[in-house]
Amino acid sequence: MPEQPDTSAVKIIEIMGVSNESFSDAVDNAVAKAAESINGIIQVEVIRQTGSVEDGKVVRYEATVKLSFSVR
């Protein structure tokens, strides 16, 4: 069983991920980009989903998320 992260103190940040494909991809992109510079992300909460529409079709998906990670 993997060792559980120390969660006695947790920092929460809010960021927005973007995708041309789906809201799910936008969330995945937000987490992946944040993980490039933040270690130990333990939770994601989707706060808001918005998008841009052109000619009756969604062309840009945006997902605002809160990410939680342990403070060392």
Nearest Cα neighbor of 47 from 22, 15, 19, 18 is 15
Residues 24/32, Cβ–Cβ less than 8 Å:
no
Tell me 26's DSSP state: H
Q: What is the pLDDT of residue 7?
A: 67
pLDDT tens track of the chain, all 72 residues?
455 666 689 999 999 999 999 999 999 999 999 999 999 999 999 999 999 999 999 999 999 999 999 987
CATH class, domain 10-70, is alpha beta
Domain locations in the chain as residue ranges: 10-70
Q: How far apart are CA 47 and CA 28, in angstroms?
A: 14
